Amino acid sequence: MDAGSCNACSAAGLPLMKLSLGKDFFGRTYDRLSPASDQSPKWYCAPCSMMKHLQRDFRDIRGEFDKLAKGQVSALSEPEVKQRAQLRLQEIAAIAGTQAAGSPLLNPADITQLIAQFHGPA
């Protein structure tokens, strides 16, 4: 595979890695083998692959939070898991905040909003 440039920031001439997402934040395994989920493999430079992991965790947590808000079964129903997710969100916000120019993968405003929702009425 001769990937030319990073799929996120378009940086070229850097070592690129095909991202294998492995397990999600809640320990569930991604189905990387089914053709439907791997039709367009993505390649990222080192900083973007780090952001991609943060983005993945952020999306997982937001997805579970949305379920919780709708009264559906959610991994966040467990207080322990919810607390862990909250800490991870703060970590994500802190790391994303160090990206001076911002990252095409994560919008710090989205993270701030979700953190606020965690503190709001469930």
Sequence-distant (≥ 6) Cβ neighbours of residue 53 within 8 angstroms: 21
Residue closer to Zn ion (CB basis): 17 or 69: 17
Q: Cβ-count burial of 59 within 10 angstroms (0-12 exposed, 13-18 middle, 19+ buried)?
A: middle
Of 8, 68, 85, 111, which one interacts with Zn ion (CB under 5 A)?
Answer: 8
Question: By rule CB under 5 A, what string of x and - marks binding of each residue 36-75 to Zn ion?
Answer: ---------x--x---------------------------
6 near Zn ion, rule: CB under 5 A: yes
Q: Taking the complex as a whole, how short is the minimal distance between the CB of residue 93 and Zn ion, in angstroms?
A: 20
Q: Taking the complex as a whole, how short is the minimal distance between the CB of residue 110 and Zn ion, in angstroms?
A: 19
Residue closer to Zn ion (CB basis): 9 or 81: 9
DSSP single-letter state for residue 76: G
> Angle at Cα 108 formed by Cα 77 and Cα 86, nearest 5°?
25
Single out the segment in contact with Zn ion by CB under 5 A; choices: 4-12, 20-28, 33-41, 59-67: 4-12
Return the beta strands (E) in the chain as ranges: 17-18, 43-44
**Residue among 70, 79, 18 nearest 46 (CA):** 18
Residues that bind Zn ion (CB under 5 A): 6, 8-9, 11, 45, 48
